[in-house]
Each structure stands twice: as structure tokens, then as C-alpha cells.
Amino acid sequence: MSGKPKLGWAGLCNVSFGFFGIQIGFALQNANMSRVFQSLGSSIDDLPALWIAAPLTGLLVQPVIGHLSDRTWLGRLGRRRPYFLAGAVLACLALLVMPLQGILLGAAMLLWLLDASLNVAMEPFRAFVGDVLDKSQHTAGYAVQTAFIGGGAVVGSLFPSLLDALGVANVAPAGQIPDTVRYSFWAGGAILLAAVLWTVLNTQEYSPAQMEEFGEAAAPEIGPDLALAARSPLGALPWIGAGGALASCVAHWALAKELYLLAGLMAAYGAALAAAILLARAGRTTLLSSVVGDFAGMPPLMKRLALVQFFSWSALFIMWIYTTPIVAQYHFGATDPASPAYQAAANYVGRLFSIYNGVAAPAALIVLPWLARRLGKARTHAVSLIAGAAGFGSYLVLRDPAWLQVSEVAIGLAWASILAMPYAMLASSLPQSKLGVSMGLFNVFVVVPQLLVATVMHTVMDAFFPGAPVWTMAFAAATLMVAALFTLTLPKVD
């Protein structure tokens, strides 16, 4: 048994270069969709509901794509690359059509398509590193991937500001999208497709026979999940009951209608769990029973890291939804999306987002490895999350927008660590044969907190801080601190 051939820096870059383009797509989405929705007539109170598309598609798509990619082999095209390519083509189309929308519902539907396509392209990249690289290069591979994520996000975040500086119109009549955003989406779609094609054409995957030679067998055929078969389907009733109870509360107290989605998801998971158990007990195997079985049988370290991810990504989603209206209202004195001041604030948010993403590249390649050698991976992650919490908390006290750039540096350190450290800690506990589905299931704890933010935050803000979106940053800071505390409880990971 011999290890996989080691790749030089050029090879490591080829493996993850497609992520550069994918992250341009995510950055354009994250920095501009609130702006697009408000430009097309959405109120700030409706933003979380419109953003539900992003986490919901990730929740549904990532485990399924991971499961399927573990079992795919298309000859020269390989195992993961077909998904890169299909997702990139669809995401490119969504980015090309999005700026042409003049109807709010149309933009919301295209966000579903865009986010689903980006998830199809993105999810297999995490497993691709494990497939192609020798275990001794996994840490370097994820660091390079994080650097490309940061670089792509910088480019995507800065597009509108750069076009504004070049004289492209940054203000549009009410109900229309500014030219800076339109051209940014079109250019981003083209770059996304080109970057993914670069990885597809300049890498190769090991065949199932070669993986066996390396001692890393391909995913087995789906078989009965014995652990799932040993469970009672009655164990799913609490999930179904909780969903029904939440729906009743929403109806009785006239709570935010977005909570119906959360109730439906809880009940749907309970129903899926019951169905999977019954299928497993009958000796029948399906994609549903396999994915649910893998979810129920997560390794202990993965379960504990899932809590860290849950609270970390709650903070990030708050940032993506609310930073534009916060900066516009508190630092530029603007609440009208059609006003020049609001559009200037939106461009400034793009520059702020480029800072935290720009910090991620050197932090992942230099700062985090240096800290990890001295503190260990878990403590390094905790320190980074605490720095991010300080960055979010500073939004409550800073009124000079220039100082927000310092806040974004601290957030950038946390962002780099969130993208790299949990995956580095997790790698040793994941079986190679299920790397794709395991990464997809781990990312469930990236999207579930986003769904909670999208469904609950509006209700909380209306009840306690009406008309004061800046307080969402206090919630972001608090959730990162909770994530840091959970990180400190993790066992030592080499």
C-alpha cells in the first residue's frame, strides 16, 4: 500500500481554484441580495423571509449531493467534477438572469436557483481535497482552499464599488437594480464558470481501483443500516409533535408566518426519520434511509463540532442579512433604498466584506497555522471566534464608518478559522468511503442556524428592538462567544 502522490503548490492550487469562482458567486449573493430585494420594493422586515431560500436549499442539497458523489464515477470526468461543472453552469445562468428581474418574487425564485446551484458546485470540493491529496497534505489543501475562498469573496464583494469608481451608474429609479450590481452579477457568472472549468480540466481523480490500492475503498453499495433498523419509529414522534406544537403556537399568538417553515421542517424530519427506520427494519435500502442513517451515526467529534458550527454560522447569517441596512441607517443616515446615500452605504458594505474576506487568505495560510502550533487547533479556533465576537460587538458603539474596517479584520480572523479549523479537526474522524456525504451532513449545521435566523430574528427584533437593526450584531457577538465556549470543551486533536 502506497500513499497518493504529493502535489506541489501548483497542483494544490488547481484542486481548489474552482472555489475561487464559486465564492465570487456567494459573495455577490451575500453582499447584494438584500440590496436587490429592497431595490425591488421589499421592506427590511421582509428580508429574513426572502433569504430563507439560501439556507433551505443548502439543507436539502448538500447531503444528497455528497451521498451521490461518493457513488459516482463517470470515467475521465471522475467522481466530484461532474457536480462542479453542473452546478457552475446553473449558477452562471442564475447570475446572468438575476439583474434583469423587475419583480420581487422573480428575484426570490432566482435566489433559490442560485443558491442551490452554488451548493451543488461547492459541496464536493470539500471531499475533493480528501480524494486527491495524501493525508499529509490535507491541512495544506484546506488552507489553500480557504485562501481561494477569501480571494474570491474579495473580488465578488468589491465588484460594485470598482464599477462605481469607473463611472458606472450606482443609483437606479425605484423598482430597478443599479447598473453596478447588474454588471457585477454578469461578470461574476463568467468568472465562476471559467474558474470551475480550470479545476475540471487541470485535475484528475483516482479511479475506484486506484483508491483501493491506496487503501481507501470507494463508498460501498447502499446496504441496510443495522443501527437504524434497531431503533423504534416511535422515536420520531417528538419531532413531529414539536413541529405541530410550534405551528399551533404561531397560529394562536399570530407569530411571524416564517415560523411555519421551521415547524414544517421539524415535522418533515420526524416523518423522514420514521420512514427511514421502517425501511431499514424491512431490509429495504434507499437514499433516504442511507442519509438519515449516516446522520444518526455521526462520529462523536463530528457531533460536538456540529454545535460549534451551529452557533458560528448563526452569527455569519445575521451579518449577511443586516449589515447593509445597519450601515445605511446608522452610518450613512439613509433608509430609502432608492437614495444615493443608501446605495453608497451598500457599496461601502461591499468594501467591508472584502476586508474580512481578504483577511481570511493570509490568516489561513500564516496566522492560524502559527497559532495552532502553539495553542492547538481547538484553542486557536476559540481565540479566533472570540476575536470575531469583538468585531460584531463593536458595531453597537462605532459611529464612524471608517472604524468598521478594524471590526472587519477581527471578523476576518474568525471567518478564516470557521472555514478551515473545523474541517481540519474533523478530517481524522471521517471514513474516506463516506467523505462526501459526511461533509454534506456536517454542513447541515451550517444551514440550520441560518434557517433559524431567517425565521426567528424578525420576531425577536419586532418584540424587543423595533426599528433598531443594529442590535442584531449583539446577537451575532453572543452566538460566537457560545461557539468559542463549546470549542474549548473539545478533546485535543492532532
Please report the pLDDT score of residue 226 as a whole number: 64
Q: Is the pLDDT of residue 217 over 70?
A: no
Better-predicted residue by pLDDT, 126 or 407:
407
pTM attached to this predicted model: 0.77
167 conformational bin, left if phi > 0, alpha if psi -120 to 50, beta if neither: left
Report the candidate in 206, 356, 225 with the shortest Cα–Cα distance to residue 290: 225
| Residue 494: band (very low, low, confident or very high) from pLDDT cuts 50, 70, 90 | low
Mean pLDDT of 98-110: 86
Neighbours of 467 (CB within 10 A): 10
- Cβ count near 213 (within 10 Å): 12
Predicted local distance difference test score (pLDDT) of residue 189: 95
Arithmetic mean of pLDDT, 64-75? 86
Q: Do residues 358 and 412 make contact, with C-beta atoms less than 8 angstroms apart?
A: yes
List, for residues 24-64, the tens digit of each pLDDT value: 998 898 778 888 888 888 777 777 677 776 677 777 788 88
What average pLDDT is seen over the chain? 85
pLDDT per residue over 430-476, tens digit each? Answer: 776 677 788 888 888 887 887 788 777 877 887 788 888 899 999 99
* pLDDT at 224 exceeding the cut of 50: no
